[in-house]
Amino acid sequence: MTKTIENFLQYAVIDTQSDETSGQAPSTEGQHNLAKLLTEQLSQMGADEITYDKEHCYVYASVPASAGCENAPVLGFIAHMDTSPAVTGAGVKPRIVEQYDGEDILLNEDKNIVLRTADFPEIKRLKGQDLIVTDGTTLLGADDKAGVAEIMAMAEHLLTHPEVKHGKIRLGFTPDEEIGEGTDHFNVELFGADFAFTVDGGELGELEHETFNAAGARLIVHGRSVHPGSAKGKMINSILVAQEFQSLLPVFQNPMYTEGYEGFFHLDGISGNVEETTAEYIIRDHDRALFEEKKELFLKCVQFLNLKYGEGTLEAVITDSYYNMKEVLVPYGHLMENAAAALKELGAEPKVNPIRGGTDGARLSYMGLPCPNLCTGGANYHSRFEYACVQSMEKVTELLIKLAVRYGEISR
């Protein structure tokens, strides 16, 4: 078993699920367990400049430049330690399906949980390779512990193979990416890289330098509760008004119907009663102008229903989360070019696609650290049907090593 896979299987069983309701940083204490382990392993492998931010749960470290490569640009690699709140990350039981046969995978016989090719036909492309799956009761955590494992394996390889020449490499591991807070306390100055890659993508070959423009919106509907027997002309049922608001949004600008560069409004959660209902939305679009139009439409729907039911019936607060990192990555085209060239050397076809989501790299790019995104070899993220391909993960580790070598040959 390679170091990449050994790392991943060790990290996957640590519960690092983040929690968007906690109000803490990090949002869960479990993330410290992985941070502490990484800190220990970095020390054992001989990494330099190790910093463990015990308050906010960030880990930084360096692989020193090879002799003669001290003037190369400082290259960073970043991955996040937390897993999504969408599916539990407690009690993860990873197992390897060797030489996958291209058919359905029985994840859990007792619960009859099956990863069906009819639901996920793209998995058939991995026939003959080895897959890491769960028992179907949890997510796997390849998002982004696969990235963490690959970066750690790359670092150990460089530290134990001095014949591989490279410039200074900075490593960064962040908490709470899944709840949009992964860079809230990231110290760009301390990190000290000229540019970096997040290792947080999907299947082998994926390269990404475009994200959504993103906002979160909270809608609060104030109703009026009256006994239903005498409610005519008096009751305002906030639940029904919230439903009416949803009906005003474009039906097909919904995640269920969109792909590629198409944006959406996503109702992510709703709770309430007759008196008050709260609905949580996310608003996304790659195009900045269309993004602003979506936010404006959201507010116009609020205004329309306030005219109908009375001013103050609906309140909305929209908060921008991050912007499309492509806008600041244009001068750094060499990052994508070198990544694509390295993938081709590994026999993998580069697939440049827009991220239908965000990464730490989106905010980091606007914080002064240009940071496109690399693949990890995982798939079906945020799902109990998540899986990762062993051979793809191993190639991603090779990709990181090749990029370290490529940038070691450049003088600043």
The one-character DSSP state at 91 is: T
The one-character DSSP state at 265 is: E
The response to whether 200 counts as a known ligand-binding position is yes
User: Cα separation of 9 and 3, whole Å?
Assistant: 10
At a CB cut-off of 8 Å and minimum separation 6, what does 209 contact? 325, 326, 329, 335, 336, 352, 372, 373
Of 373, 363, 68, nearest to 205 (Cα)? 373
Amino acid identity of 141?
G
Of 200, 195, 196, 191, nearest to 53 (Cα)? 191
- Helix, strand, or coil here: 307? helix
Of 286, 246, 285, nearest to 267 (Cα)? 246
User: Cα separation of 312 and 332, whole Å?
Assistant: 47
Q: Using omega within 30 degrees of 0 as the cis cutoff, is the peptide bond preceding 26 cis?
A: yes
Concerning whether 177 is annotated as a catalytic residue, the answer is yes
Concerning whether 181 is annotated as a catalytic residue, the answer is no
- Rg for the chain (alpha carbons), in Å? 23
- Helix, strand, or coil here: 247? helix
Which residue among the candidates 130, 144, 156, 177 is catalytic per the annotation? Answer: 177
**Cβ contact 108:136 at 8 Å:** yes
Q: Tell me how far the alpha carbon of residue 347 is from its chain's centroid.
A: 26
Q: b/e for 171-184, b at 16 or more Cβ within 10 A?
A: bbbbbbbbbbbbbe
Tokens of 82: 């937390």
Which residue among the candidates 15, 82, 150, 360 is catalytic per the annotation? Answer: 82
The response to whether 144 counts as a known ligand-binding position is no
- Residue for token digits 């001013």? 311
The response to whether 178 counts as a known ligand-binding position is yes
User: Cα separation of 348 and 30, whole Å?
Assistant: 35
Of 71, 77, 47, 289, nearest to 172 (Cα)? 77
- Helix, strand, or coil here: 231? coil
Half-sphere exposure (CA, 13 Å, Cβ side) for 93? 6
Please enumerate, by residue number, every residue annotated as part of a binding site for Zn(2+): 80, 143, 178, 200, 382
Please enumerate, by residue number, every residue annotated as part of a binding site: 80, 143, 178, 200, 382
Catalytic positions, written as ranges? 82, 177
